[in-house]
Chain A
Amino acid sequence: EPEVTQTPSHQVTQMGQEVILRCVPISNHLYFYWYRQILGQKVEFLVSFYNNEISEKSEIFDDQFSVERPDGSNFTLKIRSTKLEDSAMYFCASRKEGNTEAFFGQGTRLTVV
């Protein structure tokens, strides 16, 4: 069964460093997303991406964040100048269409020290 794949599963970085989280969405899906879940809190929407551009972003997704689809398979989230409060589980998700079932990856646990 097709699945969303995320790497790495766990990343530890020093405050102020840049990190890139990687995702391979399901191959015939057209809508891609990043969400985050701070420990003990709700899963929060960060950004949606369609047709090679951002279609919607939350107020969390400020200039510190960027997304890219560098080739036909990968979808990345870059976090510049990481802060302690960026520590969270980051989930990538994809959908075939905007209102179909969403599939999530296993997440990348980001720890900023």
Chain B
Amino acid sequence: KQEVTQIPAALSVPEGENLVLNCSFTDSAIYNLQWFRQDPGKGLTSLLLIQSSQREQTSGRLNASLDKSSGRSTLYIAASQPGDSATYLCAVTPSPSGNTGKLIFGQGTTLQVKP
């Protein structure tokens, strides 16, 4: 059974710092991995999607990497800003799922960036 874990559960950094959020998954049989941002009481905003054949994806100050064989992904945030404060979720699409495309989520890392 696929399990997704995110470390740390919470992180507090001063503005301007570069930081790394970690995600691990137990079964390497995945179609892709997606990172989301969730603001308190709000929906999930897609940040980056990495297909299983890719090693990394970049969007602005965000860079996500994927090492499928070791079951790990990282989300790198450069020059953090107070507006980056949110919970970051990673989720995988298992490949033996009949291509239904369901997502299995980690519990998230709650980031606070202090001015």
Contact = CB atoms under 8 A, between A and B. Distances in A.
Contact of A102 (B41, B42, B101): B101
Given A33-B102, A56-B97, A101 B43 contact: no
Given A42-B106, A106-B43, A107-B43, A99 B34 contact: no
- Of A99, A103, A109, the most chain B CB neighbours within 10 A belong to A99
A99 B99 contact: yes
Contacts of A113: none
B43 A104 contact: yes
Contacts, number: 71
29 contacts: A31-B101, A33-B101, A33-B102, A33-B103, A42-B106, A42-B107, A42-B108, A43-B44, A43-B89, A43-B91, A45-B104, A48-B100, A48-B101, A55-B98, A55-B100, A56-B97, A91-B44, A93-B44, A98-B31, A98-B101, A99-B93, A101-B34, A101-B46, A102-B103, A104-B43, A104-B45, A106-B43, A107-B42, A109-B41
